[in-house]
Structure 1
Amino acid sequence: MILMRKLKALRSCRQFCSNRDGVAIVEFAMLLPVMAIAYVGMVETVQLVMVNRKVTQLTSALSDLTARVQTVSNADVDNIFNAAQTILMPYDNSKASMVIANVVIDASGVAKVCWSNQRNGMAPARGATIAVPDSVRIPNTSVIMAKASYSYTPAVGYVLTGTFKLGDNAIYARPRNGVAGGTLNIEQVVRTGTNACPNFN
């Protein structure tokens, strides 16, 4: 009797070990979290790259639109900001920071801000000395400098990663229809109500 019970138990154990029913479900259940994390990570990475590309295009548009005019008023600069930020669609443009500055390089190669405007950001003050690349620092010239950045918060996983600041790299453009002015007669985009530079008074 005891021997029969042992044989029956042994037979049941062998049947259980050789049974392959449900193996696929168990494997799928084990892989599902890994696959879900990989999928979400891939989607977020693609979104991050797309937003970063749009921020670069936004910065380029800011410098290009400003460099096309001779003079700008505050209303004109607002229109440039409004036009350029449509590039960010369908992303939230309230998370974007934009800066436009007219930079004048004097006879000794020192770059100073003649005027600047910002939206949701910090613009350098008039007369402030700034660093520009050597390719831009040509004496007795001016350049439009634009900067834009975007605060991107991932839809999933933001607790772990936090918010990413994308962009914030300057793009420069030479004035195309500038007005010669200031003490050195430098061609530049002049802002209405502001003296042409390098007269920083």
Structure 2
Amino acid sequence: MSVIAALRRLLGNASGVAMTEFALGAPVLMLAGVYGVEQANFVLVNMKIGQLAVHIADNASRIGDTSQLKNRKIYESDINDVIIGAQIQAGKAVNVYKHGRVFISSLEVDAASGNQYIHWQRCRGAKAVNSNYGDEGDGKAGTLTGMGPAGAEITAEPGDAVIFVEISYTYQPLITGSIVANKEIRSIAAFNVRDSRDLTQIYQRDALKPDPVQACGAHKGEVILDAGGAMN
């Protein structure tokens, strides 16, 4: 068989077309699938972080004892319950305290000056990041107009408090980190305190056996409860 005849026979042979097309198209389809799955997961995690911020702010605005005769006191154990609940809601896949940081702030009005200030702030999370909107004590000198994005700050009313929650989270890729360029997720939420609250301080239920304080100077990660139910 001549070379020309062999080439003509090869050109007319269509038995391997489907396999060739699959070999050429499969990598493209796989890449598109991976891209779609990663982007969808990023959107889902973003939504979860937003819902988590709302969940924390809502719960922190409701905590306190149930006395009908005086303003409701809040306790460090109440804050700890909110922190634990947030970890449960976020789930192990997100692991918000390992890969992120939560800031819970009580925005109030200073009775003496009338200034907006952050009376107290509690934090949890191993991520080394600062709040975008202020730290405990900020505003006493009149430098705080509220909390939130510039031009859309949230403010408290005299004698009342606003619970402002901020979450900073680093997205953990499901498949590859090359698809999502900006992995930083930030979300905020705020709720007015629901009932008349004792704004003096956060109390300890038992001064002789105080509950852990979620101070912002520490960078504690995932909450671990011991056999007695006490948190780290």
Amino acid at match of 1:157: T
Matched residue, 1:187: none
- CA apart distance, 1:114: 0.1
Could you give the per-residue CA deviations for residues 63-109 of structure 1, whole angstroms, max 9, x where no partner exists?
A: 11111123332232121110122111141232231110100135887
Is 1:102 equivalent to 2:106 in the alignment? Answer: yes
Counterpart-to-counterpart distance in 1, 2:18 and 2:84: 55
Unaligned runs of 5+ in 2: 64-71, 205-232
Aligned to 2:67: none
In 1, Cα distance between the equivalents of 2:104 and 2:199?
20
Question: Match of 1:132?
Answer: 147
Residues 26-70 of structure 1, C-alpha deviation per residue, up to 9 Å, x if partnerless? 111111111111111111112111111111111111111111123
Q: Give the partner amino acid of 1:23.
A: V
What's the RMSD between the two structures over aligned residues? 2.6
Q: 1:191 to 1:173 in 2, by over 3 A?
A: same
**So what's the TM-score if we normalise by structure 2?**
0.67
Q: Which residue of 2 aligns with 1:185?
A: none
2:202 is aligned to 191
Structure 1 alignment gaps of length 5 or more: 183-189, 194-201
**For 1:79, which of 65, 74, 81 is the aligned residue?**
81
| Higher Rg | 1
**Residue in structure 2 matched with residue 175 of structure 1 by the alignment:** 193
Letter in 2 for 1:127: G
Q: Which has the higher contact order (CA 8 A, sep 6+)?
A: 2
Partner AA of 2:147 in structure 1: V
Contact 1:58 1:85 in 2 (8 A): no
Task: Report percent identity of matched pairs.
Answer: 22
Aligned 8 A contact 1:100 1:146 in 2: yes
The one-letter code of the counterpart of 2:123 is Q
Distance 1:151 1:71 in 2: 34
SS at match of 1:155: coil
1:114 to 109, 112, 119: 119
